[in-house]
Amino acid sequence: MITLVVTYNQMVVDEFTSDEVDRVFHALADATRRDIVGRVSQREQSISSLANHYSMSFAAVQKHVAVLERATLVTKERRGRQQIVHPNIEALNKAARLLDAYAFIWQERASRIADILADD
Amino acid sequence: MPVLGSEIDAENLTLTFVAEFSAPVERVWQVWEDPRQLERWWGPPTWPATFERFEFEVGGRADYYMTGPDGTKAHGWWRITAIDSPVRLSLEDGFADGSGNPIDENDTNSTVAVLETVATGTRMTVIATFKDLAQLERLSAMGMQEGMTAAMNQIDAILVTAA
């Protein structure tokens, strides 16, 4: 059994189940999808904009994005008539970093609680 | 006082924090229930908290402000959503304006504190849940200070390993 563990600054951020691992590897096993992940990591863009780079239909590109989304590698955001594709790793990065910082706030609070209790 | 650890869920924007104290549950509960004790730990020394209103009951409101080094005041409010004395407290926390009025009643993050008796005293588990990344960013910006900046490491990459 393979477990995929995503660590962030040596703190475990996410753990993928077998099914999720399958989805991630399946998602990345396709060259077009790897290319899509690469492009949106540089710059978020719409599915139409992505479709310009590949010699396939818009629907085909849309399907690739759906596979990536199911593997939680990208997220989609509707903006007007467009669907903007974002790299999910980036969102996880930022969120994880901020939650990490918040954990520090609680560490400090716990330390102050201990000080209050020690005063008894 | 060992901090047992924290776990983050970046997808659900949740932080679970666990610490243990060598004091009984009823005593640890007091640091939450007594606003004068709460004021001594809720904010850091550089941004101490003052609780002006404190209704420690389900549906109750708390009004507080944090005072910065230059005297700036940042106001906040709590709505207590559940109390199971002395083991569980649940509240919503939001920003308020200078008069203590909530800026947005729906822009709150939730905090749940659970106290359990353990061999060494009390285990406190805090679960903080944020609404979205933007909210977490606003709150973290408020919490930035020298000590915390030093503790925050620059993240270069996510390491993916097969275990």
Nearest residue on chain A to B25, alpha-carbon basis: A117
- Specify the higher pLDDT residue, B35 or B2: B35
- On whether residue B79 sits in a domain, the answer given is yes
pTM above 0.80, yes or no: no
| A9 in contact with B, Cβ within 8 Å | yes
CATH number of the structural domain spanning residue B116: 3.30.530.20
* pLDDT at site B6: 86
Provide the number of structural domains found in chain A. 1
Q: Which residues of B touch A105 (CB under 8 A)?
A: 143, 148
The predicted structure's pLDDT at residue B146: 36
In a domain, residue B110? The reply is yes
What separation in angstroms does the CA of A77 have from each of A69, B25, B71, B72, B148? 11, 46, 41, 37, 33
Q: Is residue B47 part of a domain?
A: yes
In this prediction, residue B152 carries a pLDDT of: 37
B161 touches chain A (CB under 8 A): yes
Residue B18 in 3-state DSSP?
Answer: strand
pLDDT of residue B118: 96
| pLDDT at residue B1, as a whole number | 52
Please tell me if residue A4 touches chain B, with a CB cutoff of 8 Å.
Answer: yes
Partners of A8 on chain B (C-beta within 8 Å) are: 10, 155, 158-159
How many separate domains does chain B show? Answer: 1
C-alpha to C-alpha distance for B103 and B97, rounded to whole angstroms? 6
Residues 56-95 of A with CB under 8 A from B: 72, 89, 91-95
Whether ipTM exceeds 0.85: no
Would you call the peptide bond into B45 cis, given omega within 30 degrees of 0 as the criterion?
Answer: no
Residue B162 lies inside a defined structural domain of this protein:
no
List average pLDDT for each run of 10 residues in chain A, which is 120 residues long. Answer: 48 58 80 87 90 95 95 90 85 72 87 93
B87-107 residue pLDDT tens: 999 999 999 998 889 999 999
Domain around A32: 4-118
Instruction: Flag whether B70 is in a domain.
Output: yes
For residue B82, tell me if it sits in a domain: yes
The pLDDT tens digits for B120-162 are: 999 999 999 999 888 887 777 766 543 344 333 322 222 233 3
CATH number of the domain encompassing residue A14: 1.10.10.10
pLDDT band at B25 (very low <50, low <70, confident <90, very high): very high
